[in-house]
Amino acid sequence: MSTITGYPQAAINSKSSLFSSIRVIIETAFYGNNVQVIEHLAQAYQLAANSPGTIVTDLAVSHTEELKLPKDSKVLVFNDGEIVGRTAAARRVIGEPEINQVKYEKILREAIYQSRTRQFYHGEVIVGLDQEFSVKAHVLIPEGFENNLYSYLLNFQALTAEIENEYQHSQTYHEGDLYIFADPEWQNPAFPDGLVLIDAVHNVAAVLGLRYFGELKKATLTLAWALANRNGFIACHGGLKQYQFPSHHYTMAVFGLSGSGKSTITLAKRADDVVTVLHDDAFVISKTKGSTTALEPAYFDKTQDYASDDPTIASFLTCQNVGVTLNDSGKKVLVTEDIRNGNGRAIKSRFVTPNRVDHLDDKIDAVFWIMKDDVFPPVVKMNDPILAAIFGATLATKRSSAENIRNQEEVDQLVFVPYANPFRVYPLAEDYQAFKELFEQQNTDCYILNTGFFDQKKITPEITLKSVEAIAKKQVQFLPLGKLTELSYLPIAGFSERFNEVTYQERLYQRLSSRNQFLQEQAELLGGYHELPAEATEYLERLLKKLKK
């Protein structure tokens, strides 16, 4: 088994690296007499279907036998209130500079004490779908939020006797199970945005005052990614698929925030393509083997691109923050496309993807950083491992409706999100070094995909997908990007190639300067917690000098 559920009596002491005050406070709550353990997924379905506010649609769930659900299961809809996205401002990470652990211990103890008179449900899942990487996670959710519990068990791998047996034979790590305590009804005037408290070193989290299901999913992945990083894996907030051509296989990973096109690129295929999909959101890469493992069986995806008659809806299991209406037969059906509100979501089963796999032994041929940085043409290749890692650390994109942002002016601003992972809870330099070694030692190529605008022209999904497939088929030729031979671009009809013109060189200079400034600012924040090796800024400064000549 990967993590430790029960401890030898002699190991339960203050000197054990497995315990901290935060961990003990959270785990202890799971054993209260107000806690009911959920024995199987069908039980969670019935609780969710009967929960106040649930809409039981007339849409049948497919593959119920494989999913261990009742045969007559329907797609369940549950809608939140004002907040329909993740709230980054709520996150506090124990161990980061300026975070007072004693302060949060008190807040957490009081939050759990105040919750004692309410019924809670304890669910168990597996995160990581191969014996190479597999961890057990426990979630505690109060009565009234049964839909979040049910969606959680669907999103990750709910425990069955068969799954438990496989887990017991998986790679063992000296780590405790993951524990997540959730109380969406918690209130504290000092935390108007709620509080997501993470103790990643000890594999626990508390999600307080937040209803949105995505907070539970990402808190769990935050812990799993941190555990993976400590144990020889690269944590990846991205998608991975493999083209299987007659002449060769091509394995590619794409990294981007929600709304960047990550899922579209990962899941898309032409009719005559043979494509294997690992996942579109969360996986890990073995640093020694180069193999990859998906963390979740299901998909938590936006519904904005699915019309009410889209065949993909047949794979929906639950929906959050979407509308419901009656069709001409009087059946309750979905109103999607974000008509009700932004960031409508659905848990989709693994069966939406033909040739879905949980693990690939093949090494990754290429990494694609998805950006919405209008200084770049649709596809750019990086010809140096250091530069490839730098661009990952300065991945530029725009915010989306998946995030709860109070200042709407920030939505259209270009922001840097290193490796498209705002959920990192360890120093940035560790990801930088891991990806740099991936490019150096495993000969993995690296590209930028601009899915925004270039030359004030929209880069459509069709352009991006055709380009990616041509790269996978090895039917492309790249040209130097002006003065910078370290970068090259893929010529695409309809987009200008005036990369040697002074105006373009000035724009590129400014955007690289912004990246250099961002890295310097990161080095100054939190006492240097996210400082990169000096080689990163030195490399960018050399490029800037070349552009100035």
Residue 357 lies in a domain: no
Residue 226 has pLDDT above 70, yes or no: yes
Residue 318 lies in a domain: no
Coil, strand or helix: which one is 345?
strand
Q: What is the DSSP letter of 486?
A: E
Residue 202 has pLDDT above 70, yes or no: yes
The pLDDT tens digits for 513-542 are: 999 999 999 888 777 889 999 999 999 999
Mean pLDDT over residues 414-436, rounded? 95
Lowest mean pLDDT among 8-17, 189-198, 209-218, 220-229: 8-17
145 and 132 both lie in a single domain: yes
pLDDT confidence of residue 399: 58
Residue 408 has pLDDT above 80, yes or no: no
Return the bridge partners of 275, or none: 243
The pLDDT tens digits for 49-89 are: 999 999 999 999 999 999 999 999 999 999 999 999 999 99
449 and 477 both lie in a single domain: yes
165 and 270 both lie in a single domain: no
Question: What share of the chain in percent tops pLDDT 90?
Answer: 84
CATH code for the domain in which residue 446 is found = 3.90.228.20
pLDDT band at residue 4 using 50, 70 and 90 as cut-offs: confident
pLDDT band at residue 8 using 50, 70 and 90 as cut-offs: low
Residue 119 lies in a domain: yes
Contact between 250 and 472 (Cβ < 8 Å): yes
Angle between helices 213-230 and 428-441 (to 10 degrees): 60
Contact between 255 and 392 (Cβ < 8 Å): yes
**Into how many domains does the chain fold?**
2
pTM for the complete prediction?
0.94
Mean pLDDT over residues 187-195, rounded? 97
Mean pLDDT over residues 357-373, rounded? 96
pLDDT band at residue 401 using 50, 70 and 90 as cut-offs: low
Residue 241 lies in a domain: yes
Q: What is the DSSP letter of 318?
A: E
Give dist(CA 501, CA 483) in Å, integer: 10
211 and 258 both lie in a single domain: no
Give dist(CA 242, CA 363) in Å, integer: 10
Last residue of a domain, one of 452, 467, 496: 496
Residue 15 lies in a domain: yes
Mean pLDDT over residues 186-206, rounded? 97
Domain that holds residue 13: 9-55+88-232
130 and 17 both lie in a single domain: yes
Mean pLDDT over residues 344-371, rounded? 96
216 vs 496, more confident: 216
SS3 assignment for 115-142:
CCCCCEEEEEEEEEEECCEEEEEEEEEE
95 — phi, psi (to 5°)?
Answer: 105, -25
Residue 30 lies in a domain: yes
130 and 277 both lie in a single domain: no
Lowest mean pLDDT among 2-6, 7-11, 33-37, 483-487: 7-11
Residue 317 lies in a domain: no
Angle between helices 41-49 and 146-155 (to 10 degrees): 150
* Stretch (H or E) spanning 481: strand 479-481
The pLDDT tens digits for 294-306 are: 999 999 999 998 9
97 and 210 both lie in a single domain: yes
Contact between 195 and 137 (Cβ < 8 Å): no
Residue 188 lies in a domain: yes
Q: Give whole-number Cα distances, 296 to 157, 211, 321, 359, 419, in Å.
A: 7, 21, 22, 11, 19
Give dist(CA 353, CA 275) in Å, integer: 10
Mean pLDDT over residues 43-48, rounded? 98
Question: What share of the chain in percent tops pLDDT 70?
Answer: 95
168 and 102 both lie in a single domain: yes
Cα 367–368–374 angle (5° rounding)? 155
Most confident of 26-30, 308-312, 371-375: 26-30
The pLDDT tens digits for 440-474 are: 999 999 999 999 999 899 999 999 999 999 999 99
Q: What is the mean pLDDT of the chain?
A: 93
Cα 30–32–35 angle (5° rounding)? 70
Mean pLDDT over residues 184-210, rounded? 97
240 and 228 both lie in a single domain: no
pLDDT confidence of residue 10: 55
Q: Which of 68, 229, 208, 74 is nearest to 145 (CA)?
A: 208
CATH code for the domain in which residue 45 is found = 3.40.449.10
Last residue of a domain, one of 195, 217, 232: 232
Give dist(CA 144, CA 51) in Å, integer: 6
pLDDT confidence of residue 171: 92
Sheet with strand 55-60: strands edge to edge: 55-60, 74-78, 316-320, 345-348, 299-302
pLDDT confidence of residue 392: 97
Last residue of a domain, one of 496, 516, 543: 496
198 and 281 both lie in a single domain: no
Give dist(CA 273, CA 465) in Å, integer: 12
131 and 190 both lie in a single domain: yes
pLDDT band at residue 410 using 50, 70 and 90 as cut-offs: low
Give dist(CA 254, CA 268) in Å, integer: 12
pLDDT confidence of residue 186: 98
Cα 241–243–154 angle (5° rounding)? 30
Max CA pair span of the chain: 72
pLDDT confidence of residue 12: 61
pLDDT band at residue 232 using 50, 70 and 90 as cut-offs: very high
Mean pLDDT over residues 342-347, rounded? 96
The pLDDT tens digits for 478-498 are: 999 989 999 999 999 989 888
Alpha helices in 299-397 (DSSP H): 385-393
The pLDDT tens digits for 284-327 are: 999 999 999 999 999 999 999 899 999 999 999 999 999 999 99
118 and 24 both lie in a single domain: yes
Give dist(CA 277, CA 264) in Å, integer: 12
